[in-house]
């Protein structure tokens, strides 16, 4: 696990974009496509800020999913798709069919059962990944995660039943402690199966939880469970405000 800290979120954004660009190029060279799952919250803006500085990303070969998504209309301000669309999808020429959103059909039917959104989204994963081979769990080329001040990531919250889900690839949650309450989320097996995982955490509100996640090997916080399970494939990008409590030994030298 590599943990890097930077002066401010602009530098975090630059480093994130570099990692995304190299992960994208490697996947496209190997498989002819790049499969990425994005988180919501502050991430869309940070990713957009970094990607605005880089050239040569072959977005036409991207398949974009969401690590979690709020069950709201796609044009709702709480929608992560909407946040990403505004922040950068529209600017980099990603076609709508490359972006795997909540089912517009279920939204149009005003479907109330969140399980149905999760099942339909899992069907999109099966369609995209099962063609590759007879797989047990999809392996994204890259999953970009945020981390809440309570150590949650995606819509996987501390001590929540969902942390035990080890069959479904996508699960519903209707009691999210972070509003809105109704979401769908990738489950731990899918997240920890990614070829590469990058956590992005900025701001002093995270400094306490980040110390537990990165320095307490017994932590059962969702972000810690993922970091421990995918240690060799996980990178943490932070600003100095978020990494303030970490020991020097935890932080890698800038690459
Ligand atoms: O849709 C969401 O809410 C996110 O996927 C969620 O897991 C987010 O990544 C964290 O809550 C961190 O959010 P911030 O980066 O805004 O603190």
Residue 72 pLDDT class (50, 70, 90 cuts): very high
Q: Which pLDDT value is given to residue 130? A: 79
Q: Give the strand pairing for 34-38 and 142-145.
A: parallel
Domains annotated for the chain, with CATH where assigned, are 2-250 (3.40.50.1360)
Q: How far apart are CA 205 and CA 129, in angstroms?
A: 36
Contact in structure between 138 and 121 (CB atoms under 8 Å):
no
Q: Give per-residue pLDDT as tens, 17-68.
A: 999 999 999 999 999 999 999 999 999 999 999 999 899 999 999 999 999 9
Q: How far apart are CA 217 and CA 99, in angstroms?
A: 36
- CA 30–ligand 1 middle distance (angstroms): 31
Contact in structure between 231 and 1 (CB atoms under 8 Å):
yes
Residues lining ligand 1, Cβ inside 6 A: 39-43, 67-68, 80, 146-148, 152-154, 178
Global model pTM greater than 0.95: yes
Q: How far apart are CA 62 and CA 207, in angstroms?
A: 33
Q: How far apart are CA 187 and CA 28, in angstroms?
A: 25
Alpha-carbon torsion angle 86, 42, 71, 139, nearest 10: 100
Atom of ligand 1 nearest to the CA of 201: 15
Which of 38, 40, 68, 158 has the most ligand 1 atoms within 8 A of CB, as the residue to mutate?
Answer: 40
């Amino acid at each position: 696990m590599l943990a890097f800290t930077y002066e401010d979120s602009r530098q975090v954004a630059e480093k994130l974009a570099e990692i995304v660009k190299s992960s994208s190029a490697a996947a496209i060279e190997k498989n002819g496509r790049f499969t990425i799952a994005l988180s919501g919250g502050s991430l869309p803006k940070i990713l957009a800020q970094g990607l605005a500085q880089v050239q040569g990303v072959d977005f036409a070969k991207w398949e974009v999913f969401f690590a979690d998504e709020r069950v709201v209309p796609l044009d709702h301000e709480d929608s992560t798709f909407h946040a990403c669309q505004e922040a950068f999808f529209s600017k980099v020429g990603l076609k709508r069919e490359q972006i795997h959103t909540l089912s517009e059909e279920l939204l149009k039917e005003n479907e109330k059962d969140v399980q149905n959104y999760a099942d339909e989204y899992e069907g999109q994963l099966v369609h995209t990944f099962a063609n590759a081979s007879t797989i047990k769990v999809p392996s994204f080329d890259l999953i970009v995660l945020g981390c809440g001040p309570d150590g949650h990531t995606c819509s996987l919250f501390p001590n929540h039943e969902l942390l035990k889900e080890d069959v479904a690839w996508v699960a519903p949650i209707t009691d999210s402690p972070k509003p809105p309450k109704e979401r769908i989320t990738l489950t731990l097996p899918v997240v920890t199966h990614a070829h590469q995982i990058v956590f992005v955490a900025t701001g002093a509100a995270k400094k306490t939880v980040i110390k537990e996640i990165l320095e307490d090997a017994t932590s059962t916080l969702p972000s810690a469970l993922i970091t421990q399970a995918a240690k060799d494939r996980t990178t943490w990008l932070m600003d100095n405000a978020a990494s303030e409590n970490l020991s020097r030994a935890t932080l890698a030298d800038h690459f």
